[in-house]
Amino acid sequence: MKKLVSAAICLIMSILFLTGCRRSVPEVRDRAYIQSAALYGKSNISLTLYPFEEEQKQETGIGATMADALENASTSFGKEVFLGHLELLCFDKADLTDKLSSLLYEQRISPSCKLLFLYDTDLPEDCDMTLLTDRLIMEEENGHIPETDLFHILSEKKSKDEAALIPAVTKEGLSMCILSSGNKPYILSVKAAQGLCWLRGKNYPERIAVNGEKGSEDYEIHSAKLKLSAEINENIPCITARIIIKGSGDEQAAKAVIESQCNAAARETIKLAKADVIGLFKCLARYCPEYYSKQETETVKWDAAIQCTVEFE
C-alpha cells in the first residue's frame, strides 16, 4: 500500500513539474527583453527600446505619458516588453529625471542601470548601444568619470538642492553633467569630472599621467581613501578633503595633478553650478552639528572654503 501511495505522489509531482515547464516556455518567448532604452521628451514622450536579441530591431513608442509610450512600444514588438535587465537608459530632457522613479518601481528596472544624458545631441539610428554601455563602464573603471547608477542618481535628486550628477554625451564626447531643479544642465570640464572621482571617494584611476623629473610618465596608484572633515573659522565653514594614497612614481607630480583636479571639481560644482554632489551637507552636519542646526546652510554652504590635500603613505 505504501508503495502505491509513493508511486501516486511521484506521478502527481511529475505532472505538476512538467506542466510548470510548459507554462514557462511561452512566457519567455512572449517577452521582448530590453537591453537599453532612449527617452525623448517634447510635446509627447518618445521611448525607443533596444532588445538583447540581435535579430530584433529597436522599436519606438510615443505617448502623452510614460505608460502610454511604453505600451505603444510593446505593441510594436508584438509582445510584452521586460525592462528588468535594462543596462542603459538615455534621455534628453532634464525634467525627465522626475519620471525615472516610476520606471524603477513600476517596471522594476535594475537599480544598477546606467543613465546617460543627451546634451544637445541625439543618438544615431544605428547606434551600437552595447558599445556605448561598455564605453561608459570603462570610463568609470578607469577613474575618468565618477561612478553612478539609477538608484544613487535618484537618491541625489531627493537631497535638499535636488541636484544629481549624471554622465552626459555632448558634441565633444563623454562628460559629466549636473542636473538640478530650476537650473540649466551644467556640463563639467574633463578635469572636474576626474576630480569628482577622488572627492566622492567611489572610484579612482589605477594610474595617472604626470610630468615628473624624468619627463612624461605614469604614477601608479595601489590604493586610495578619502577623509572629509569640517570646522568653522570666523563663521565660515571650512571643509578639508584629505586624499591618502599608496602608489609608486613621482609623488610631487602626482600630488599636483590630483589637487588640480579636485580644486576644479569643487569650484565648478559648488561655486559655479551651485550643486552639492560632494556631500557638504553631510560633512557639516557630522563635524559641526551646532553650527549646522543654527545657520541657513542652504546659502552658507556655497561660501564654504574647500581645501583639497593629497598625502602619501
**Average pLDDT over the chain, rounded to whole?**
85
Q: If you average pLDDT over residues 258-266, what whole number do you get?
A: 96
Residue 99 is predicted with a pLDDT of: 74
The neighbour count for residue 213, using CB atoms within 10 Å, is 8
Q: Is the pLDDT of residue 153 over 80?
A: yes
Q: Is the pLDDT of residue 201 over 80?
A: yes
Residue 172 is predicted with a pLDDT of: 82
Quick: pLDDT tens for 20-29. 444 444 466 6
Q: If you average pLDDT over residues 181-195, what whole number do you get?
A: 92
CA separation (Å) from 311 to 98, 143, 241, 279, 298?
Answer: 40, 19, 11, 21, 31
Q: If you average pLDDT over residues 135-141, what whole number do you get?
A: 94
Phi and psi at residue 127, in whole multiples of 5°?
Answer: -60, 130
Q: Where are the chain's structural domains?
A: 27-187, 190-313
Residue 189 DSSP one-character state: P
% of the chain residues with pLDDT over 90: 48
Quick: pLDDT tens for 278-304. 988 789 889 988 887 776 656 666 788
Q: If you average pLDDT over residues 182-210, what whole number do you get?
A: 93
Long-range contacts, 211-216 (Cβ 8 Å, 24+):
211/253, 212/249, 212/250, 212/252, 212/253, 213/250, 213/253, 214/250
Q: Is the pLDDT of residue 178 over 60?
A: yes
Residue 298 is predicted with a pLDDT of: 61
% of the chain residues with pLDDT over 70: 88
Confidence of residue 55 (pLDDT cuts 50, 70, 90): low
User: 131-135, 231-235, 243-247: which has the minimum mean pLDDT?
Assistant: 231-235
* CA–CA separation, 68 and 65 (whole Å): 5
Residue 7 is predicted with a pLDDT of: 52
Would strands 80-82 and 88-91 be described as parallel, antiparallel, or unpaired? unpaired
Residue 5 is predicted with a pLDDT of: 46
**Second-level CATH architecture of 190-313:** 2-Layer Sandwich (3.30)
Residue 36 is predicted with a pLDDT of: 94
Residue 119 is predicted with a pLDDT of: 92
User: 1-5, 39-43, 52-56, 223-227: which has the minimum mean pLDDT?
Assistant: 1-5
Grid coordinates of 110:
535594475
Residue 307 is predicted with a pLDDT of: 94
Residue 220 is predicted with a pLDDT of: 96
Confidence of residue 226 (pLDDT cuts 50, 70, 90): very high
Confidence of residue 16 (pLDDT cuts 50, 70, 90): very low
Residue 21 is predicted with a pLDDT of: 47
Q: If you average pLDDT over residues 255-264, what whole number do you get?
A: 97
